[in-house]
Structure 1
Amino acid sequence: MSIRTLIATIHQTLYLGHQDCTPTPLLAHLPALTTWKIPLTDFQDMDIKPTLAQSLHQAINTHTPLLTSLEFRWGTTALINSLLTSAFSDVRIKRIESTHHRSRDKCILDGMMPGILRHARSLVAVSLSAFNLKSTFHNPTPPPSPQLDPSDTMFSKLMRSCPRLRVLSIPDYTARIESFEQAEEWACQDLESLHVKVQGLDEVDACLTKIKALRNSNAWRSSGQMEVEGVGIGDRVIKSLIGLCCLKTVWLGTKVVYLATIP
């Protein structure tokens, strides 16, 4: 039986219990591997040396030609970015999922953009969430994430650089409405799922209800376009998203809404 999913730390994969890298890493036995779930909890994985990254890079390229999905758990953005730009640099990654630690004064995308953009041409799904160690263990309701990317350059660059992107889930990120209004310039016009907050959008549920109703109308179904009146933040969000004809699910901070699409 071919194993397609692996849950293992980097050191477990390369060392197999030895002090030095084993000549035959675990990946050598997994030619059908497509998904690697990497817990970054091993203290030895906290600092990936260039020699280790090179060994991992060689093992991946030699033994796992089908690897397309990476899931990182509990690492830092700096560590994940380092892995994406070194060990996994030549892998045609389609899906990146990360639950990583960040300090409260950092943006969810901070430190990871070079790694994400390294795989921009092949990415189909990006899901990023963060946790705060103190909040996780002492407060079941972490404080809301502050707006820490005032120019929104990272969000805009992400949307302009990933033509195959279908799923983007960054619920801890708050985008500026100006970035949404550039939706016609996004490379990912076939986007199907979007989870992100919008700065200044207070009536989230009302916005979602309205866009769902408009997408269900015969007028939109016949053309994929519709004039939206109003100048409020919610109206501007709707104007931006109404033309993304493949968009099926939207989350803007409260609940997921399912939208009609054009067959």
Structure 2
Amino acid sequence: MLNILVTGANGQLGNEMRLRSATSRHNWLFTDVAELDITDPQAVNRCVAANRIDVIVNCAAYTNVDRAEEDEAAADRINHLAPSHLAAAARTAGATLIHVSTDYVFPGDAHRPYDEQQPTAPLGAYGRTKLAGERAVEQSGCSSLIFRTAWLYSPFGNNFVKTMLRLTAERDTLNVVFDQVGTPTYAGDLAEAICNIVETERYKGREGIYHFSNEGVCSWYDFAVEIARLAGHTGCDIRPCHSSEFPSKTQRPAYSVLDKTKVKEAFGLRIPHWRESLANCIAKLQ
């Protein structure tokens, strides 16, 4: 029987992991900052040793992309230093660390999906701190799997889907950018994949970086239109606009579609199309 530590358990992915592990035969320990401060290396070491942890799943992240530009040190503590502490504890305990990263490690100037081998070049503080976290995990010497994902949403917390459900119900017109392209990811699908990999112990001997998002490609505009359609919010006129119409201190990747060939082949996954998973999530929300 495995002892599995989940950090960032109150976030979107952590909450979905909690649901999917409810019937597990293994012991799952769910922590957020109130139970375990992952920026404190001594606290991390004590927790991992005391609970004889076999697998750590790090769902914690500083995800406020705009605020990261103003306070990169705070983002770095959670996105870079905390994973390095978790990796060090995993190495000492002989445990495996499963760490979640982001499409923001890429510059977004590609024209075909990014695979795991393509050069990273983050555009901002969030991407820089997440890439630093990846490198700290890789260089730690612990057994590790890194899952890069993108455009995460769920019934939990704040995300684009819940914002669009509210705005398309309230407004007659809405402008949404059409010049940023990627793939939405239902956090439930990523949680399902990670739980399955952990439960079956297929993480053993398969260390490395993997890409995981739902299948398909869309712009934020396309995503918003589908959200409104599924919710029956037909009274809102959603209009495509350019990113330049929403001035921001953060430069976001224009194209961040992830190639999922490696993860599908390594673990035999069937990943749903983003429209299928969006319908599933909105049904839960309604």
TM-score per shorter chain, which class?
0.3 to 0.5
Instruction: Choose 1 or 2 for highest CA Rg.
Output: 1
For CA contacts below 8 A with separation 6 or more, give which structure has more relative contact order.
2
Query: Which has the larger share of helix?
Result: 2
